[in-house]
Amino acid sequence: MHTTWNQHVVKKENKALVLNLIIDHSPISRADIAQKSGLNKGTVSSLVAELLEEQFIYESGPGESSGGRRPVMLWFNKGAGYSIGVDLGVNYILGVLADLHGNIVKEEKEKYEHLSFEDTLDRVKRVISSLMNTAPPSPYGIVGVGIGVPGIVNNEGDVLLAPNLGWENIHLKKELEKRFEFPVIVENEANAGAYGEKRFGTGQDFDHLVYVSAGIGIGAGIIINGDLYKGINGYSGELGHMTIDKNGMKCRCGNKGCWELYASEKALLAKARQSLLEMDEEITLERLIELARNNTELVVQLFKEIGNHIGLGVVTTTHAFNPEQIIIGNRLAAAREWIEPGVKEAIEKYTLPFHRKDIQVNFSDLSIPSSALGVAAFSTENFLKSRLQN
């Protein structure tokens, strides 16, 4: 009897269902998979046998008995392959090597200033190559790489505009796939950060959230019903370039009065340089945090002012999306202690009471590199999806 096309599709869907149950509930028995999935035991046993052969799962010793023979338990083989995620910042590159469950095996970071596209590309390639060389032996090796870029990225992986990098119409995906043999995903870094927070970070318990990436610029990633919302062409989340002052400063994007001109790390450093003219040393975010820790009143006030501007954008975002949670992440989250009062002040003062009632505003846990993990997760999920469709 020949397998029909419909039967083939159903089998692929059932196989993905079984694998996802094992991923989410390891260790789990065949009987529990059948119970949770609604599939019959014969179908579960057949699909489990395929997944064992493909080394996506493995068996361990018997679990607890519910009255009969103790069941053999199934585990997801998170070391079956590894993905690489790269958070490409304006002044840093952060790369992670992660197993198929999102656990970080190796992390690398480089700082830089004002590099050309060619020099930046060389550094990205170097970070990826270094992470590749540290990957443990595995059945599938490196399954893909994801790059998070602070700019507008289309669905083909082209960077249409990244003002703070000085990039326009850059075919980043194609450039990297010339060098590496595995699939490359290019995504907006705030979208990647939102997904990383949802999967691994502060947003795990929320299905409607907005992640505000507050670094040199500002971007946002939007999660609706647990899924990343990208818009029709993949351009959603450019909240940093919403106009908050039509007569304001000129932005590198070509607009005037963009939110990020008033609420970003770049805005903070510009204000600090104007206010701290007597300082001979270079003014950096890290130096300002050090001064704030020493109770330098002027710096503490600068942080509060930036926090207030962040809060104003959060108010608009809350009114537009009515999310359960807003997460403030990226580099400015390191200054939470001094920024948060200004954020809360703006939210309390300007948010409509209906919207303020159920909103939760949090800061990222910076020990979790959410953007890098988010794009690594995209690569892993694409790999698993493609393998299960064969």
Q: What is the pLDDT of residues 165-183, one digit of tens each?
A: 999 999 999 999 999 999 9
Spatial separation of the C-alpha atoms in residues 159 and 167, rounded to whole Å? 7
Q: At what angle do helices 5-25 and 41-53 cross, to 10 degrees?
A: 80
Of the candidate ranges 188-202, 263-277, 293-307, 316-330, the one whose mean pLDDT is the lowest: 263-277
pLDDT value for 64: 62
pLDDT score, position 1: 42
Quick one: pLDDT at residue 198? 97
Q: What is the Cα–Cα distance from 73 to 75, expressed in whole angstroms?
A: 7
Same domain, 283 and 316: yes
Output the pLDDT for position 46. Answer: 94
Q: Mean pLDDT over residues 297-306, rounded? A: 96
Once rounded to an integer, what is the mean pLDDT over residues 43-66? Answer: 86
Distance CA 323, CA 311 (A): 15
pTM of the complete model: 0.92
Backbone φ, ψ for residue 255 (5° rounding): -90, 180
For residue 365, what pLDDT band results from cuts at 50, 70 and 90?
A: very high
Q: CATH number for the domain including 154?
A: 3.30.420.40
For the chain, how far is it from start to end, CA to CA, in angstroms? 20
Tell whether the model's pLDDT for residue 270 goes beyond 90. yes
Model pLDDT for residues 78-125, shown as the tens digit of each residue: 999 999 999 999 989 999 999 999 999 999 999 988 889 999 999 999
Whether 230 and 320 share a structural domain? yes
Range of the domain at 111: 82-193+370-388
Tokens 């050090």, residue located: 290
pLDDT for position 328: 98
Q: What is the pLDDT of residue 234?
A: 87
Q: Is it the case that residue 277 has pLDDT exceeding 70?
A: no
Task: Please give the average per-residue pLDDT across 277-294, as a whole number.
Answer: 85
- pLDDT for position 69: 67
Specify whether 207 is located in the same domain as 349.
yes
Whether 120 and 234 map to the same domain: the answer is no
Give yes or no: residues 158 and 98 share one domain: yes
Answer yes or no: do 335 and 216 share one domain.
yes
Contact by Cβ (8 Å): 160, 153: yes
Residues 238, 308, single domain; the answer is: yes
Same domain as 344, residue 298: yes
Q: Which residues contact 235 (CB under 8 A, 6 or more apart)?
A: 152, 154
Domain boundary among 76, 95, 128: 76
- Average predicted confidence (pLDDT) for the chain: 92
Categorize the per-residue pLDDT at 188 as very low, low, confident or very high, splitting at 50, 70 and 90: very high
Instruction: Determine which of 7-11, 64-68, 241-245, 379-383 has the lowest per-residue pLDDT on average.
Output: 64-68
Kindly indicate the confidence band of residue 280, based on its pLDDT and cuts at 50, 70 and 90.
low
> In Å, what is the CA distance from 208 to each residue of 227, 251, 324?
9, 30, 5
Q: Which of 55, 76, 97 is the last residue of a domain?
A: 76
Give phi and psi for 38, each to the nearest 5. 85, 5
317: left (phi > 0), else alpha (psi -120 to 50), else beta?
A: alpha
Instruction: Provide CB contacts within 8 A for 317, sequence distance 6+.
Output: 210, 212, 220, 239, 323, 326
Residues 271 and 289 in one domain: yes
| Domain end (from 52, 76, 100) | 76
Same domain, 214 and 319: yes
Supply the pLDDT for residue 11: 85
Q: What CATH number has the domain bearing residue 11?
A: 1.10.10.10
Query: Per-residue pLDDT for 390 more than 90?
Result: no
Determine the Cα angle at 255 with ends 147 and 93, to 5°. Answer: 20
pLDDT of residue 23 exceeding 80, the answer is yes
Q: Which of 133-137, 253-257, 384-388 has the highest mean pLDDT?
A: 133-137
Residues 122 and 216 in one domain: no
* pLDDT confidence of residue 171: 95
Whether the predicted pLDDT of 4 surpasses 90: no
Can you give the pLDDT at residue 3?
47
Instruction: Report the domain count for the chain.
Output: 3
Whether residue 92 is found in the same domain as residue 65:
no
